[in-house]
Amino acid sequence: MKYSYYPGCTLKNKAKVLDRYARSCAEVLGFELEEIENWQCCGGVYPLGNDEIATKLSSVRVLNEAKEKGQELVTVCSACHHVIKRVNDDMKNVEDIRTRANNYMSLSEPYSGETTVLHYLEVLRDKIGFDKLKEKVVNPLTGKKIGAYYGCLLLRPGSVMAFDNPENPKIMEDFIRALGAEPVVYPYRNECCGGYISLKEKEMAKSMCDTITESAKGFGADMLITACPLCMYNLNKSAKETLPVYYFTELLAEALGVKEEADEE
Amino acid sequence: MPLNENEFRPKIVAFCCNWCSYAGADLAGSSRLSYPADVKIIKVPCSCRVNPMFILRAFEKGADGVILCGCHPGDCHYSTGNYYARRRMTLLFSMLDYLGIEKGRTRVEWVSAAEGVKFSQTMNEFVEKIRSLGENVRLGDLRCKN
Amino acid sequence: MQELVNRAKELLANGTVQRVLGWKAGDMAYNPEPSYFETEADLSDFVYDAFCGANLSKYMIEASKKEGKTLVFLKPCDSYSFNQLLKEHRVDREKAYIIGVGCKGKLDIETIRKQGVKGIEEISGASMDDACDTLKIKTIYGDKEVSYQSAMLERCHVCKGKDHVVYDEVIGESRDTVDGERFSEVQRIESMTPEEKFLFFQKELSKCIRCNACRNVCPACSCRKCVFDSNKFDSAQKANVDSFEEKMFHIIRAFHVAGRCTDCGECSRVCPQGIPLHLFNRKFIKDINEFYGDYTAGEDIDAEAPLTHFEFTDREPNEERG
Amino acid sequence: MSHRDYSGKIKEISGVNPYKCMKCGKCSATCPSFNEMDIKPHQFVSYVLNGDIEALAESKSLWKCLSCFACVERCPRDVKPGKLIDAARQIVVRERGGDYLSADEIPELLDEELPQQLLVSAFRRYKR
Amino acid sequence: MQRIGVFVCHCGSNIAATVDVKKVVEVVSKEPGVCHAEDYPYMCSEAGQMKILEAVKEKNLSGVVVCSCSPRMHEATFRKAAERAGLNPYMVEIANIREHCSWIHKDMEEATEKAVILARAAIAKVNLNTPLKAGESRVTKRALVIGGGIAGIQTALDIADAGYEVDIVEKTPSIGGRMSQLDKTFPTLDCSACILTPKMVEAAAHEKINIYTYSEVDKVTGFVGDFTVDIRKKARSVNSDKCTGCGVCQEKCPSKKSLNEFNRGLNTRSAIYTPFAQAIPNVPVIDRDACIKFKTGKCGVCEKVCQAGAIDYNQQDEIITEKYGAIVVATGFDTIKLDNYDEYAYNQSKDVITSLELERIMNAAGPTKGHLERLSDGKAPKEMVFIQCVGSRCSDTRGKSYCSKICCMYTAKHAMLIRDKYPDVNVTVFYIDVRTPGKNFDEFYRRAVEEYGVNYVKGQVGKVAPLPNGKLLVQGSDLLDNKQILKEADMVVLATAIEPEASVRKIATMLTASIDTNNFLTEAHPKLRPVESPTAGVFLSGVCQGPKDIPETVAQAGAAAVKAIGLLAKDKLTTNPCTAKPDELLCNGCSQCANVCPYGAITYENKEVNDHGIRETRRVAQVNSALCQGCGACTVTCPSGAMDLQGFSNRQIIAEVDAICR
């Protein structure tokens, strides 16, 4: 199976491991990620205003590329996934945005939300299957107690993201289980890490991350995993409790035996 | 709101089932949910009472749109009437489309007695659609005399 | 053909049937017409050739009221009409002795004329026995040749099949004549813009002179009294300025026969104005097949007719064609 | 533009019908930034309805909302308070000089690990 | 041509404020056939009706059009008035110029124009009306009550006391319903079982009442006065006649792992079980999905221990067909599933419970024997939080848009009972509004606050987070203090929205009773006919019609019973004369109409006809007017127009179309 792939800006430098292991694991699991040519930054946040069109166009471009290739579009970063998936929903369901966006773009055929946007984890769950993934694991992460940190962007709004139950998700827990580790369920796994607020309000973000890591640690987690470079950044700044934070692809690579030596601890 | 002489006032016939949408229209009325006066309701005992001939007749007599409202599938007062109506109207509408009559001029909507809001919304939307389509000239003129 | 005559004589002689319903030679080579034959001697006028397009099943409604059995010759496509009438209790199976006759495609004189053949005196190649690929036509302007296939009625190009769905015995073989797509013309119209569709039908229907030939020949249009002739709908107002009937006749007629029309094509065959009336019926047939599953009227008398049946999951009328 | 017009503009940009609010306070109950805000999430609706946009525009709350959509997800009336706040923020940043972030202050905010995603996002939310 | 009188009602200002009634009178008086037209402030008043009487007599009218409110309001009134004047009642038509005109339009000119057109349509129709005579049908003097909760029991008792036979069909193994699961009732704090069980016993002992438990309605045919119903008595696997209700089988049953439905799944029960101690009948059923004998063929312990020999593994479902004159629906409610509200951690923590679950916990026969304790660790709670409106008043896609009505009161009850029994437990209630209309209701709620010190906080809760220490962190709003509250609680109780019992949809479809978008059964009129379904002969009792508490339910149950009794007291019913009627001379005998008739009212007959001098035997359609309900499906299948519907004939409808499109 071949998918169009949208890495996003941060995966090209600060979060290279997130990207690299997504690709190498895909190889092991038997699917191909074909990077969209000349993709542009998604903008990091979904523009909420109904009158915001220009800021949605980079996503439309990517979506249309995938449509023209007849492929489903895979993302890894939570923020990119959120933005692209919501823009896609607008293009499909909001007539005004669709019309205006198509007016801006000069596409051979108007784009109206035809592409399916999948997060990498959704590919694992819905296309590969966690039981199949389990079969491919060569280094089960037995004994590790891992708290999944979802954050807000993958889950909300649930009606659009349709990723998992936004208040009690389990996809990452199932993922952790498939890798042979023990998931730690804690109630703040779907609460915000502070997001972009951490640029100017460092203390605020810190206290939010404290709540999250405290809760995870309280329930016995030794580490956290995330799909988002910004969550990773913020969680690492948590003052009170310190838990190592990994990208989910890092653990995946480790379990599948493709983790590179340099990254081994 | 004064009537504008030049404004297009469509003629719209709404066939409403006595058990659901006619009561739904009553509820829209008692809830003061307005919709344009262009809509005139004819009460029928069931959507299955509506003969395609009635609809053609309306168009031929100058109606610009015809809408049929019945009970939601599964909720017909007579158990099965709306299912027959659904097939008949599906075929009739498809035929009218085939003859070049704009598809928006015909519509079927399932509106229960409790759905006053839906009745009013449906009528507002339908009138809006007919206004955008303009006067119906085609069905009245399908067979021009030589 | 002689075999048919012989068998008819036999059945008349042994009292199995009281009369024969068949085709009688017309004043020209290409216009035989339906006829009853009461005696063996009458049968001298009997004819069955490639111009016997007329569907005799509708005559069986009246024949069913007569004393004794009637021998009727039905082509494969006619047998669907008979079956449909049987389903609707319009004909009495007990009153009919059905000989299914072979068919090699029926010819359309108008199609021949359109190929520039005028002043026809004699046509050879149209009898059932020597039916061949080419028709040799003697005209007052000399001999002409026309390919059999090119002279066939539209319906034969999209023939429903070579098998009879009801019969007592079958005489003669049928030929495979299909070389067209049944719904291609309907599809072509469907793909037009509303304006184009409208202009197309306006042009065709404007030719109608309301002669009622289509209604009279149609085996599905067999009401004792047509709704357009009764006052039940205020639809028959001949002397009136009312134009409802004028405008809506063909649409309503098509709706009334929807799910019952066997697509026998007689309406188009007999229309003196050459209106392709079958395009209405065929649109309904196509929609029914697409929306509710393939259905051929007259094929199976126990099948649920599409308009007197439903499924809970039927499509919605407002739905766009997907 | 008068304040009333701003009120309309906010409704237009956000697509929110503030009349749908039943004042249950679930948005404020759910908001992780609640304590940092001067005008609380559940109050936004009243400010818009009353046309008190000036106070809204000057509110600290605009810059404390994380757009985490917890209020949007949990609102029982589909009011989407987060969208309302963002619309107010848009009104401010779209005006000349309304930016909450300028390029000049960036260098001192940076650190080694800071992902570019953070800069991009902050610029989108804080600046025209 | 008819001689028509037109009467235009002002309805006070309801019509006259928007429709120029004088203008309507003026215009319609010129319509063909109209020989009298007048307006009057209230046509439905006695004086208004007299106007019709006088005009019919003076002007020798043959038809009447009343331009007024919906025919659903006063058509019957005006028809009766016409009848009093000696006119056939079906010569009256109503032009609905109130609900369909004056109430929805603002512009007088526009509304007047529309009123005129509606009047014209009615006039055009009346011109083609013919006198119709209503037929008669019989009434089976027996009622069916679907649902054996307090609503069904009360309805059945009231009908039976009036002397009519009643059958109750209850799908669970015992009657009693939701009320039997409650511990105490508000606002008097009566013990629920103490007031319910006597009623259950009374119903069971009543000679006119027959109870089918563990049974469901399978099929309903017929119509008012003459319904035929198939009742499926599910196989109980226990012979009710032999069983003595000793309970040994339940004790000895080795399969004890099934969730106890009666205790809302908070504990388990045996595979052979009676739902609760006071069950009626006191005959257990075998849950075949859980029974080892049914699953593996090995076991049979219950059969061995049963002294009475009542166990019957071979029992089959039994279908009982019975005729009824009236049917009362009393199917009740359930709480909604909370899967859409995981922010309240119902699925994540055992200590987050619904109010109905709390009822069971508080009940001596419940999973904790009536002790208030946490289900996770059995510890007594010290801090309890109640959250109101969970799933109620939600106009999003997750919950219900309506107020469940009973939650404010039962929460006050729970809070009060807990504070009374366990004074060291703190109780906090997060509410949006406290709604306590009802006798002694607000006083009850105030007592909870003033005398029992229950802490009411105005504001909804946003999240309940289970903490590592086993407590629950409740994050809520205090809107009056403008604060976000973080409160550690030991237990959280969710006032979960109620919704109609899931089976009601199927039942409504069988009864052709209409149902609203929330699955509540629709009443014939929201104010004036609140216990009748729009389907004649079907009545509504209890929460199946809308949220209500016990006193309201009992009141409605009585009202439904009275309506049913009123029907059963009649020997004959007049039938709708608007039935299908074939024109034999036009009929082709094709049977298409019979294929679509839902009532089997059309048959075919070979009949001698005289068609303009031609005498012949034809196959023609016959309509049994006692069976025909007048839907009109047949009329459209008939290509020749032979089949027509009286009162809604082809010509009448076409005349209306023409009048509107003119």
Whether E434 and E453 map to the same domain: the answer is: yes
Contacts of A219 in chain E (CB under 8 A): 468
Of E544, E568, E592, at which residue does a domain stop?
A: E568
Whether D113 and D56 map to the same domain: the answer is: no
Is A129 within the bounds of a domain?
Answer: no
* Total length of chain A: 265
Beta strands in chain C (DSSP E): 19-24, 33-37, 70-74, 96-101, 120-124, 134-139, 142-147, 169-171
A-D contacts (CB, under 8 Å) = 122
Whether E616 and E526 map to the same domain: the answer is: no
Whether E352 and E486 map to the same domain: the answer is: yes
Whether E457 and E584 map to the same domain: the answer is: no
> SS3 for A198?
helix
Whether D67 and D110 map to the same domain: the answer is: no
Percent of chain C with pLDDT over 90: 58
CB contact under 8 A, A195 and D119: no
Mean pLDDT of all residues belonging to chain D: 89
Chains B and E touch (3+ CB pairs under 8 A): yes
pLDDT at C27: 85
Above 70 in pLDDT, residue E630?
yes
Whether A74 and A179 map to the same domain: the answer is: no
pLDDT at C138: 87
CB contact under 8 A, E468 and A167: no
Residue with tokens 């119902």: E346
Is E531 within the bounds of a domain?
Answer: yes
Whether E441 and E408 map to the same domain: the answer is: yes
Whether A257 and A155 map to the same domain: the answer is: yes
pLDDT at E588: 92
Domain residue limits, chain B: 12-140
Is A125 within the bounds of a domain?
Answer: no
Percent of chain E with pLDDT over 90: 91
pLDDT (average), residues A50-56 = 91
Contacts of E637 in chain C (CB under 8 A): 307-308
Above 60 in pLDDT, residue A30?
yes
Contacts of D31 in chain E (CB under 8 A): 462, 484
For chain C positions 167-196, those within 8 Å of chain B (CB to CB) are 186, 189-190, 192, 194-196
Nearest to A195 by CA among A163, A159, A240, A149: A149
As given in the structure block, the two tokens for residue A119 are 């997060």
pLDDT in tens, C261-290: 999 999 998 999 989 999 999 999 999 999
Contacts of A46 in chain D (CB under 8 A): 67
CB contact under 8 A, B40 and E117: yes
As given in the structure block, the two tokens for residue D83 are 């969208």
Is E658 within the bounds of a domain?
Answer: no
From B80, which residue of chain C is nearest by alpha-carbon distance? Answer: C310
> What residues make up the domain containing A55?
2-120
> SS3 for C257?
helix
From E118, which residue of chain B is nearest by alpha-carbon distance? Answer: B40
Q: Give the gap in angstroms from C-alpha D30 to the nearest C-alpha of chain E.
A: 4
C136 contacts C145 by C-beta, under 8 angstroms: yes
Burial group, residue A236, by CB count within 10 angstroms (0-12, 13-18, 19+):
middle
Q: CA geometry: angle at E599 spanning E595 and E600, to 5°?
A: 55
CA torsion, ordered B74, B79, B82, B85, to nearest 10 deg? 140
CA torsion, ordered E57, E63, E68, E69, to nearest 10 deg? 120
From A188, which residue of chain E is nearest by alpha-carbon distance? Answer: E465
pLDDT at C132: 74
pLDDT (average), residues C158-168 = 92
With an 8 Å Cβ cutoff, is A21 touching chain E? no
pLDDT at C235: 52
Above 70 in pLDDT, residue E423?
yes
pLDDT at B143: 55
Is E186 within the bounds of a domain?
Answer: yes
Nearest to E343 by CA among E398, E411, E266: E398
Residue E343 maps to which CATH number? 3.50.50.60
Burial letters C169-179, b for 16+ CB under 10 A, else e: ebbbebeebee
pLDDT at C244: 57
pLDDT at E316: 97
Residue A82 maps to which CATH number? 1.20.1050.140
Q: Give the gap in angstroms from C-alpha B146 to the nearest C-alpha of chain E.
A: 25
With an 8 Å Cβ cutoff, is C209 touching chain B? no
- From chain E, which residues contact D within 8 Å (Cβ)? 343, 389, 393-396, 398-399, 432, 458-463, 475-477, 479, 482, 484-485
* Range in B103-107, C120-124, E223-227 with the lowest mean pLDDT: C120-124
Count CA within 13 A, CB hemisphere, residue E352.
27
Mean pLDDT of all residues belonging to chain A: 93
pLDDT (average), residues E42-48 = 95
Above 90 in pLDDT, residue E215?
yes
Contacts of D25 in chain E (CB under 8 A): 432, 458-460, 476-477, 479
With an 8 Å Cβ cutoff, is B89 touching chain C? yes
Above 50 in pLDDT, residue C240?
no
With an 8 Å Cβ cutoff, is C247 touching chain B? yes
Interatomic CA distance for residues E585 and E451, integer angstroms: 83
> What residues make up the domain containing E422?
336-499
pLDDT at B145: 40
pLDDT (average), residues E62-74 = 95
Whether E8 and E58 map to the same domain: the answer is: yes
Q: Which of E341, E465, E469 sits opposite A187 (nearest CB)?
A: E465
- Say what the ipTM of the complex is: 0.71
CB contact under 8 A, D36 and A204: yes
pLDDT (average), residues D55-59 = 91
Is A143 within the bounds of a domain?
Answer: yes
pLDDT band at C142 (very low <50, low <70, confident <90, very high): confident
CB contact under 8 A, E588 and C65: no
Is A158 within the bounds of a domain?
Answer: yes
**Number of structural domains in chain E:** 5
Whether E109 and E211 map to the same domain: the answer is: no
Whether E351 and E484 map to the same domain: the answer is: yes
Whether A154 and A55 map to the same domain: the answer is: no
At B118, give phi and psi (nearest 5°): -65, -40
pLDDT (average), residues C143-164 = 90
Of E459, E474, E499, at which residue does a domain stop?
A: E499
pLDDT at B137: 79
pTM, two decimals, is 0.77
pLDDT at E294: 96
Above 70 in pLDDT, residue A113?
yes
Above 50 in pLDDT, residue E371?
yes
Above 90 in pLDDT, residue C126?
no
Whether E531 and E438 map to the same domain: the answer is: no
pLDDT band at C163 (very low <50, low <70, confident <90, very high): very high
Among D17, D61, D65, D118, pick the best mutation site for testing chain A contact (most A Cβ within 10 A): D118
Whether D81 and D120 map to the same domain: the answer is: no
CB contact under 8 A, B93 and C255: no
Interatomic CA distance for residues E546 and E553, integer angstroms: 10
Q: Give the gap in angstroms from C-alpha E286 to the nearest C-alpha of chain B.
A: 34
Is E656 within the bounds of a domain?
Answer: no
C-E contacts (CB, under 8 Å) = 64
pLDDT in tens, C30-45: 889 999 999 989 998 8
Interatomic CA distance for residues E353 and E332, integer angstroms: 21
Give the architecture (CATH level 2) of B12-140: 3-Layer(aba) Sandwich (3.40)
Whether E200 and E326 map to the same domain: the answer is: yes
Above 80 in pLDDT, residue A87?
yes
At C4, give phi and psi (nearest 5°): -65, -45
* Range in C120-134, D26-40, E127-141 with the lowest mean pLDDT: C120-134
Neighbouring residues of E66: CB distance < 8 A, sequence distance ≥ 6: E6, E7, E9, E43, E52, E74, E78, E92, E93, E94, E95
* Range in A260-264, B14-18, C70-74, E654-658 with the lowest mean pLDDT: A260-264
**Number of structural domains in chain A:** 2
pLDDT (average), residues A215-243 = 90
Among E390, E467, E486, E488, pick the best mutation site for testing chain A contact (most A Cβ within 10 A): E467
Interatomic CA distance for residues C282 and C279, integer angstroms: 5
CB contact under 8 A, E640 and C223: yes
Nearest to A158 by CA among E341, D24, D12, D21: E341
pLDDT at E328: 98
pLDDT band at E576 (very low <50, low <70, confident <90, very high): confident
D105 contacts D79 by C-beta, under 8 angstroms: no
pLDDT at B146: 34
Contacts of C88 in chain E (CB under 8 A): 588-592
Whether E488 and E343 map to the same domain: the answer is: yes
Interatomic CA distance for residues E466 and A218, integer angstroms: 11
Interatomic CA distance for residues E346 and E656, integer angstroms: 58
B143 contacts C247 by C-beta, under 8 angstroms: yes
Whether E455 and E549 map to the same domain: the answer is: no
Q: What is the DSSP letter of E259?
A: E
Above 60 in pLDDT, residue E214?
yes
Residue E611 maps to which CATH number? 3.30.70.20
Above 90 in pLDDT, residue C232?
no
Q: Which of A44, A50, A158 sits opposite D121 (nearest CB)?
A: A44
Q: Give the gap in angstroms from C-alpha E541 to the nearest C-alpha of chain C.
A: 30
CB contact under 8 A, E651 and C225: no
CA distances (Å), origin C37, targets C1, C21, C75, C103, E3 = 15, 6, 18, 21, 58
pLDDT at E517: 83
Q: Which of C206, C315, C319 sits opposite B143 (nearest CB)?
A: C206
- From chain E, which residues contact C within 8 Å (Cβ)? 583, 585-592, 595-596, 604, 611, 616, 619, 637, 639-642, 644, 650-651, 654-655, 658
Is E505 within the bounds of a domain?
Answer: no
Above 70 in pLDDT, residue C238?
no
Q: What is the DSSP letter of C151?
A: G
Interatomic CA distance for residues E87 and B125, integer angstroms: 42
The amino acid at E347: N
| pLDDT top residue among A174 and A241 | A174
Percent of chain B with pLDDT over 70: 91
Interatomic CA distance for residues E256 and E266, integer angstroms: 13
Q: Which of D83, D109, D117 sits opposite A10 (nearest CB)?
A: D117
Whether A243 and A179 map to the same domain: the answer is: yes
E277 contacts E263 by C-beta, under 8 angstroms: no
> What residues make up the domain containing D121?
101-128
Interatomic CA distance for residues E85 and E62, integer angstroms: 11
Above 80 in pLDDT, residue B140?
no
pLDDT at E56: 95
pLDDT (average), residues E412-441 = 97
C139 contacts C121 by C-beta, under 8 angstroms: yes
Above 50 in pLDDT, residue B6?
yes
D30 contacts E463 by C-beta, under 8 angstroms: yes
pLDDT at D44: 93
Q: What is the crossing angle of helices E71-84 and B21-30, to 10°? A: 100
CB contact under 8 A, A43 and D122: no
Whether D55 and D90 map to the same domain: the answer is: yes
Whether A142 and A108 map to the same domain: the answer is: no
pLDDT in tens, D80-127: 899 999 999 988 888 877 788 888 888 888 888 888 889 888 888 888
With an 8 Å Cβ cutoff, is C233 touching chain E? yes
pLDDT band at A239 (very low <50, low <70, confident <90, very high): low
* Range in A69-83, C151-165, E137-151 with the lowest mean pLDDT: C151-165
Beta strands in E74-183 (DSSP E): 92-96, 136-138, 142-146, 165-169
Above 80 in pLDDT, residue E416?
yes
pLDDT (average), residues C2-15 = 92
Q: Which of B74, B86, B139 sits opposite C316 (nearest CB)?
A: B86
**Number of structural domains in chain D:** 2
Rg of chain C's alpha carbons, rounded to an integer? 21
CB contact under 8 A, B51 and E534: no
Interatomic CA distance for residues A145 and A176, integer angstroms: 9
Neighbouring residues of C202: CB distance < 8 A, sequence distance ≥ 6: B141, B142, B143, B144
Is A130 within the bounds of a domain?
Answer: no
Above 90 in pLDDT, residue A232?
yes
Is E119 within the bounds of a domain?
Answer: yes
Whether D89 and D106 map to the same domain: the answer is: no
